[in-house]
Homo-oligomer: A and B are copies of this chain.
């Protein structure tokens, strides 16, 4: 069947290849990607897949972890030494970055967030992007930059706004208009009380 010879790789490399192949496919085709497809794309055998991921969900979890980690690294709050952070701006940057990240994910986003997978494998507290947002809200409140709302709930609801903005862009909405709408909600909601 296979004209190709056996490719022996360093496990870490092989693992990456599989993950990357899967990411490519999931981005393009969303939820109907099967193990079969992935190994084809990764030029690996069926069994090789299960050597690295006991289960399909384990692969998805790995991908999710990877993406979140990459995002966090790229957008860590620059705790500018000594400088007063402008929290609204920090938030805005993070929100836009998040929107862009979601869009870059294509169909993968659907799989990771809008599928049974999300329920079967709930994201860990530590990784949940909502917490990221929440901590910024808290910090901002502490600095007096944000209104004293329930940070946890606000984080959750505003994250939904950001998320939906991404979906709107993906659906063809104009980028600037969408970001404008998003920003208004973020700003107005968090604006401190006495104006």
Binding site for B on A (CB under 8 A): 30-32, 110, 114-116, 118-119, 149-150, 153-154, 156-161, 163-165, 168, 173, 177-178, 180-182, 184-185, 188-189, 191, 195
Q: Can you offer 23 A-B residue contacts whose CB atoms are under 8 A?
A: A31-B116, A114-B114, A115-B115, A150-B177, A150-B180, A153-B173, A153-B177, A153-B181, A156-B164, A157-B161, A157-B164, A157-B181, A157-B182, A158-B185, A159-B164, A160-B160, A160-B163, A161-B161, A161-B185, A184-B189, A188-B188, A188-B189, A188-B191
What number of copies of this chain does the assembly contain? 4
Q: Is the interface of A mostly helix, strand, loop or mixed?
A: helix
Does B168 lie within 8 Å of A156, measured CB to CB? yes
A157 to chain B, nearest CB (A): 5
Cα distance, A17 to B92, chains bound together (Å)? 50
A182 to chain B, nearest CB (A): 6
Cα distance, A134 to B156, chains bound together (Å)? 22
Which residues of chain B have C-beta atoms less than 8 A from A116's C-beta? 31-32, 115
Which residues of chain B have C-beta atoms less than 8 A from A185's C-beta? 154, 157-158, 161, 185, 189
**Which residue on B lies nearest to A161, using beta carbons?**
B157
Which residues of chain B have C-beta atoms less than 8 A from A158's C-beta? 185
A148 to chain B, nearest CB (A): 11
Closest 5 CB pairs of A and B: A160-B164, A153-B181, A188-B188, A160-B160, A185-B189
A95 to chain B, nearest CB (A): 12
Which residues of chain B have C-beta atoms less than 8 A from A115's C-beta? 114-116
**Which residue on B lies nearest to A110, using beta carbons?**
B119
